[in-house]
Amino acid sequence: MTLRLYDTATREVRDFTPLHPGRATVYLCGATVQGVPHIGHVRSGIAFDILRRWLEYQGLDVLFVRNVTDIEDKILRKAADADRPWWEWAATHEREFTNAYDALGVQPPSGEPRATGFVTQMVEYMERLIERGHAYTADGNVYFDVRSLPDYGALSGHKLDDVHQGESAGTGKRDPRDFTLWKAAKPDEPSWPTPWGAGRPGWHLECSAMATSLLGPEFDIHCGGMDLIFPHHENEIAQAHGVGDPFARYWLHNGWVTMGGEKMSKSLGNVVSIPAMLQRIRAVELRYYLGSAHYRSMLEYSEGALTEAAAGYRRVESFVHRVSARVGEVSIGAVPDAFAAALDDDLGVPAALAVVHNVVREGNTALESGDGPGALAAAAAVRGMMGVLGVDPLDPHWADTDADDSAANAALDVLVRAELARRAQARADKDWATADAVRDRLSEAGIEVTDTPDGAQWSLKGAS
């Protein structure tokens, strides 16, 4: 199948055709490093890491750029509230994000530009916009004239009369719908020299300058959270089209992580930080959970959903480890056609995971029946699929931190499954006393048994 992706700009699923054969260029709006990352922050990193891995699996050379916004109103405000230098505050939390991405197995980007490193390019960008009549200066500020661009609002569907930029007040705007490219210097704030006076960049300008500087005036895919569609991505397009650049050919947006139906954000106080989560659950299980929903859907966070996802991952992990222990080394195999079809259909991870679990069930049947080659082939396919999703149980990234736990889980799984097989036989023989005794013995050992259409499944009580 041909990879098809939902393009926000055209509001349809389109065949993905790279601008340059054999290469894909991707820009992801990264973190505004204002605080400790929570699971809502890293969802886009995981979702589009799966995109990158799938493109690479299909043989494309992927140039993947993820920026860092290290100068912005929120950073300055929070640093001032904490009585810390703004640059230290930004650098501290940039490290927190890097640690979170690394812990969750998100591949390092090809390039990770910081906004403060591209001020020269931003100044050149503004000069081009002013020259072409799309921007103007006032009191040391530089603004984009949204009325100068006929297709303004095309990405988001906003009508010009309904535009509200939601930015801090500046002076000299001709129209409140215009947005800020450059903010005139204020006392005690960082600034850089420009032809129009000292100041600092606006958020939207930063990404347009960084994306085109590293990937060129036209590139394949621009990614980010759906909360960025307006005004951020709308304004990126306006700036790029204003200077005459084609800019991104596809726009992909991931859904939010929600709690109680509301977007997870610090302002709502409903945050779950990555460091706190990793005290309670293995990093690979958290990644599996955050990557399990379709990237465009909302992911409603709950302890129950997290526990269920972790148990689902452990079933896959246990199968691979048991095959490795009982049959031999498990290589990384090709993915099944059904898995490929699911990911080619706008990165359909839920359907792809259904294929994974089907293969695991078939592999378990082969293993228990003594079909070693069949079990080995299934485990290799599972490794191939889970590798694309970034959660291969035998990847050294996870083994470094979880090797002892994984081996113990695999050994425990062998013992528990033997007990479950005894229970299943007792139930088939209508020997209810023996079946209940097995279940009670497992319960006393802290093992919870759940009967499902696919047979009995087990988990550790209280495991998250």
Nearest of 429, 420, 414 to residue 450 by alpha carbon? 420
**How do strand 455-460 and strand 447-452 relate by DSSP bridges?**
antiparallel
How far apart are alpha carbons 403 and 405 in whole angstroms?
Answer: 6
DSSP secondary structure string for all residues of 204-223: HHHHHHHHHHHH-SEEEEEE
How far apart are alpha carbons 367 and 4 in whole angstroms?
Answer: 36
The model's pTM is 0.86
Q: What is the pLDDT of residue 458?
A: 74
Q: Is 457 helix (H, G, I), strand (E, B) or coil?
A: strand
Q: What is the pLDDT of residue 1?
A: 56
Amino acid found at 182: W
Q: What is the pLDDT of residue 418?
A: 84
Tell me the sheet residues that pair with 447: 460
Core vs surface per residue 231-266: b (16+ CB within 10 A) or e:
bbbbbbbbbbbbbebebbbbbbbbbbbbbeeebbbb
How far apart are alpha carbons 356 and 316 in whole angstroms?
Answer: 8
Per-residue pLDDT of 179-221, as tens digits, reads 999 999 999 999 999 999 999 999 999 999 999 999 999 999 9
Q: What is the pLDDT of residue 444?
A: 83
- Which domains are seen in the chain, by residue range? 4-268 (3.40.50.620), 302-460 (no CATH)
CA triple 67-121-248, angle to 5 deg:
55
Phi and psi (nearest 5°) for 320?
Answer: -60, -45
Q: What is the pLDDT of residue 463?
A: 45
Q: Is 143 helix (H, G, I), strand (E, B) or coil?
A: strand
Q: Which residues of the chain have pLDDT under 70?
A: 1, 267-270, 400-411, 413-414, 452-455, 457, 459, 461-464
How far apart are alpha carbons 209 and 124 in whole angstroms?
Answer: 9
How far apart are alpha carbons 77 and 168 in whole angstroms?
Answer: 12
Per-residue pLDDT of 24-44, as tens digits, reads 999 999 999 999 999 999 999
How many C-beta atoms surround the C-beta of residue 414 within 10 A?
14
Q: What residues contact residue 83 under an 8 Å CB cut-off, 6+ apart?
A: none
Q: What residues contact residue 151 under an 8 Å CB cut-off, 6+ apart?
A: 241
Q: How far is CA 130 from the centre of its chain?
A: 36
